Structure formats: structure tokens, C-alpha cells
């Protein structure tokens, strides 16, 4: 009890042999590193010239040795690379254990080094990620421009036809496809279509349908549990801030 254990172990030989708790820890470190790596890759893509969705502060970029204008997201690339190291430590421990019979063997002395190094990698990665997240700015205008491409509100139109015009989804899908094809032929976006244009294809549509093609309205319509409306996201942020305080 003084050592903080819930109860004595049932078999001393099994206890000496057991390293499941080490594997559990290494797996948790690997999964956390995996998610950090994915976040890093997302931010690298967003920061690239092709997307330009965020701007990293000079605090979290490094210069190029030959191109003075270039800013390299080195901390993010470091995070992406370090995930492989934590995976390696997990696999290393699995490999050590795979051929061991019961009781203690010298093979197991490496578990301390593996655990400590994995912890140090993750601890460092979390600190770096925190620094990056506090030192970038989103390019909201560019985000809105890119998110508006590709007729992304077409599904909202199909949903509207089902909910408010008593159409089967199959029929709504066909109508929506015809409207998208019309917009493509005319080389315009859905939110640039007039009510008259829409009624050529589906006469039952009314003026309220035009609100559907506004991207912000589309986002805010996703308000059921698990939806990604602005309000839902704000609630999630508040919730997880409380949990992880």
C-alpha cells in the first residue's frame, strides 16, 4: 500500500517476467507520436506555397543556407521524423520479449533505456509542438477561398431537396447533379447561380435555397452531436480545455 500498488501479484515468476506495462507505455508513446506527426504534416502542407493557409512565425522556422528568402519549417519536419523513433522502440521491446521464457534474463535490462529514451523523445516533441501552435497565424481569406471550390455545398442542396421538397435522396441526387453540371457548363460557382437558373432544373425551388450555397451557412448547419459547426467546435475547445487543465 505504501508503494501505491493495489494488491500483491499472484505469481512471482510471472511478475518478474512481465513487461506488458512497458509495452503499454511504449504503445501510448507511439500513438501520441503518430498524432503529433500527422499534425506536423498537416501544418507543413498548409504552410507550403501551394496552399499558404498558415504563416509560421520566425521563431519556428529556419533559413536556407543558399536561398535567403526561404523559410524552412524544421521543427515540424523534426516532429514528423521522430515518430519513427518511437515506433522503433516499441518494436524493439516486442522483439526482445518474443523469444523469452518465464523469469528474468539479461535481455530485459534494455527495457529501461528504451522507456527513458521514448519518454524523452515524446516530452521534447510535445514541447516543440506547443511552441509551433503558439507561433503561427491562419490565413482565413485563403482558407475560405479554397474551401469554396469544388461545389462543396452540393450535398447541402441534396439534403434541402429531401427535407423541404419531399424528394427521395435518389431524386435529389439527380437534381443536384444536373444543377452542378449546369454550373460547370456556365463556368460559375453554385453561389453565383440565380433562382431563375435553379428553377430551370427544379421549378419547386424557392429563394431560401440561395442561402444554402453560402459556405458559412453550410458549416453552421452541421450542428448535431459530432458535427463541425463553429458553435460545436467552440464547445469542444472549452470542454477539452477543462479536461486537460
- Of the listed ranges 68-72, 106-110, 116-120, 154-158, the one predicted with least confidence: 68-72
Same domain, 193 and 171: yes
Residue 241 within any structural domain of the chain? no
Nearest to 32 by CA among 138, 168, 137, 123: 123
Counting the structural domains of the chain, the total is 2
Residue 239 within any structural domain of the chain? no
Residue 199 within any structural domain of the chain? yes
Joined together, the cell numbers standing for residue 60 give 519556428
E strand or H helix at 136, and its extent?
Answer: strand 136-138
pLDDT in tens, 82-95: 999 999 999 999 99
User: Which of 125, 144, 163 corresponds to the end of one domain?
Assistant: 144
- Of the listed ranges 68-77, 89-98, 153-162, 189-198, the one predicted with least confidence: 68-77
Same domain, 127 and 156: no
Give pLDDT, residue 68. Answer: 67
Same domain, 153 and 211: yes
Give pLDDT, residue 88. Answer: 97
Same domain, 125 and 172: no
Give pLDDT, residue 116. Answer: 98
User: Which of 144, 162, 182 corresponds to the end of one domain?
Assistant: 144
Indicate the pTM of the whole model. Answer: 0.85
Task: Tell me: pLDDT of 139 over 80.
Answer: yes
Strands 54-56 and 136-138: antiparallel
Same domain, 39 and 156: no
Burial 89-118 (b: 16+ CB within 10 A, else e): bbebbeebbeeeeeeeeeebeebeebbeeb
Give pLDDT, residue 64. Answer: 73
Residue 98 within any structural domain of the chain? yes
Residue 240 within any structural domain of the chain? no
User: Which of 94, 120, 144 corresponds to the end of one domain?
Assistant: 144
The whole-number average pLDDT for the span 58-87 is 88
Compute the distance between CA of residue 103 and CA of residue 161 in angstroms, rounded to an integer. 68
Same domain, 222 and 123: no
Same domain, 169 and 93: no
Confidence of residue 70 (pLDDT cuts 50, 70, 90): confident
Question: Tell me, what CATH number does 211's domain have?
Answer: 1.10.40.30
Q: Which domain holds residue 24?
A: 12-144
Residue 5 within any structural domain of the chain? no
Give pLDDT, residue 244. Answer: 86
Same domain, 35 and 122: yes
Residue 220 within any structural domain of the chain? yes
Amino acid at each position: 500500500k505504501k508503494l501505491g500498488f493495489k494488491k500483491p501479484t499472484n505469481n512471482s515468476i510471472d511478475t518478474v517476467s512481465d513487461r506488458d506495462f512497458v509495452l503499454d507505455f511504449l504503445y501510448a508513446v507511439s500513438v501520441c507520436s503518430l498524432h503529433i506527426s500527422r499534425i506536423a504534416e498537416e501544418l507543413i502542407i498548409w504552410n507550403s506555397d501551394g496552399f499558404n493557409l498558415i504563416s509560421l512565425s520566425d521563431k519556428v522556422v529556419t533559413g536556407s543556407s543558399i536561398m535567403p528568402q526561404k523559410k524552412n519549417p524544421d521543427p515540424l519536419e523534426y516532429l514528423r521524423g521522430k515518430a519513427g523513433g518511437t515506433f522503433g522502440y516499441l518494436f524493439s521491446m516486442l522483439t526482445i520479449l518474443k523469444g523469452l521464457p518465464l523469469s528474468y534474463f539479461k535481455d530485459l535490462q534494455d527495457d529501461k533505456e528504451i522507456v527513458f529514451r521514448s519518454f524523452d523523445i515524446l516530452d521534447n516533441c510535445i514541447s516543440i509542438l506547443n511552441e509551433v501552435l503558439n507561433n503561427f497565424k491562419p490565413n482565413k481569406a485563403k482558407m475560405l477561398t479554397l474551401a469554396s471550390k469544388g461545389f462543396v455545398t452540393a450535398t447541402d442542396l441534396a439534403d434541402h431537396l429531401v427535407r423541404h421538397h419531399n424528394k427521395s435522396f435518389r431524386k435529389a441526387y439527380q437534381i443536384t447533379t444536373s444543377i452542378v453540371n449546369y454550373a460547370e457548363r456556365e463556368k460559375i460557382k453554385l453561389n453565383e447561380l440565380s433562382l431563375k437558373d435553379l428553377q430551370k432544373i427544379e421549378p419547386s425551388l424557392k429563394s431560401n435555397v440561395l442561402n444554402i450555397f453560402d459556405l458559412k451557412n453550410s458549416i453552421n448547419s452541421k450542428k448535431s452531436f459530432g458535427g463541425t459547426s463553429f458553435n460545436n467546435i467552440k464547445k469542444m475547445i472549452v470542454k477539452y480545455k477543462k479536461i486537460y487543465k
